[in-house]
Structure 1
């Protein structure tokens, strides 16, 4: 499998705080890779650095053999990477449809956009039913679906998901994770940051454990699920 995304000795600082410490990470085309770790371990910072919202101080990030570290966020969307931010961040006073249209703002291929809209509604039938509704009036689960649908409208080859299960009821979490699997099966590579380590490892191919800005463990999702250390720290076992 071709390596799609590679982080090479990436260091990120917030002022004087060394948030990401020499991270090396790879995502192969077609995979679901998950990044697990405690709150404040640097998971969201890692995603924000890939998507261009933060600039690494040193190290390189390569996507499909292009160096993308240091590029502005809108450029990174054009390269084919889209992020679903933590806490959803939808545009509450716009309709569901307007939110989805905004997701396609870098595109000019009208027919492709139409096709992707159909695809989004296939993944999320509830959004189709609520097209004209103001996004702020949706339930938490529907807002999460909208945030994911909006990210898919840029037709990404790599989707970055930041805590998609946050604040959702267990049944909805199951549903969201089924949809993540479907999106992956339909051809989108996924890098998933998730506090619910059990769920994340159940759908991922590979996983990295992040502790205070450093990767301390990596391997197949199965290996990490069976690791004594991971079980104790993250799987409630």
Structure 2
């Protein structure tokens, strides 16, 4: 579904992503793990069109998308839940969800997807008239995910969904990610909580200072001594 080949991304003179190549197959949960500053979020932002690679190829369903504008990439079927939620704080929950469907015209489909979002996140339905900035951190994360789902993505990019959340809420969010995946949405997950990420992913890539240093089956990486020492506290 998604393939990156030799992708390089710079912030000015800083070489943030160095010759990255990776694939995501339809129906998978694939995770990128690594320390702060490893290039994980930069990789997602480049896929979603918020950054342009200096070189390399990014193809989605066989079409080149490197350099395509972000809103066009959403139309093609990729939606991102950004790090730090980035909800529209002064708008209501319902207005935020409506914004997620801004590229769509199919009213019946939008209604069906809104119903699905409320099934996944009942608290959002309870608070649909509430100003989004007054929600708890966990509820804001649910809203950011619900907003992304309203574009009906084929591929969902999740950037640090557990950041700042209590352990019980983290488990709830990860169960919901699995539910979203089982319903047919492919997921590329960036996550510092490597234990949780590897527990739900089928495959994983390890990034260090902008380069992929390890990749493979998520369970095997979770069991490897190198990964345990570096990321799992083993």
TM-score range, shorter chain: over 0.9
RMSD of equivalent CA atoms: 0.3
Q: Shift of residue 21 of structure 1?
A: 0.3
Q: Which residue of 2 aligns with 1:209?
A: 206
Does 2:113 match 1:92?
no
- Where structure 2 has 5 or more consecutive residues not aligned to the other structure, the ranges are none
Q: Shift of residue 166 of structure 1?
A: 0.1
Q: Identify the match of residue 49 of structure 2 among 52, 61, 77.
A: 52
Q: Shift of residue 146 of structure 1?
A: 0.1
Say how many residue pairs are matched.
234
Q: Which residue of 1 aligns with 2:67?
A: 70
Q: Shift of residue 44 of structure 1?
A: 0.2
Q: Shift of residue 118 of structure 1?
A: 0.3
Q: Shift of residue 100 of structure 1?
A: 0.1
Q: Identify the match of residue 28 of structure 2 among 28, 31, 36.
A: 31
Where do 4+ consecutive residues of structure 1 move more than 6 Å?
none
Q: Shift of residue 123 of structure 1?
A: 0.4
- TM-score, normalised by the number of residues in structure 2: 1.00
Aligned to 1:61, what secondary structure does the other structure show? strand
Q: Identify the match of residue 152 of structure 1 among 145, 149, 154.
A: 149
Q: Which residue of 2 aligns with 1:166?
A: 163
Matches within 5 A, 1:58-207: 58-207=55-204
Equivalents in 1 of 2:187, 2:132: separation in Å? 25
Equivalents in 2 of 1:19, 1:227: separation in Å? 26
- TM-score, normalised by the number of residues in structure 1: 0.98
- Where structure 1 has 5 or more consecutive residues not aligned to the other structure, the ranges are none
Equivalents in 1 of 2:119, 2:154: separation in Å? 18
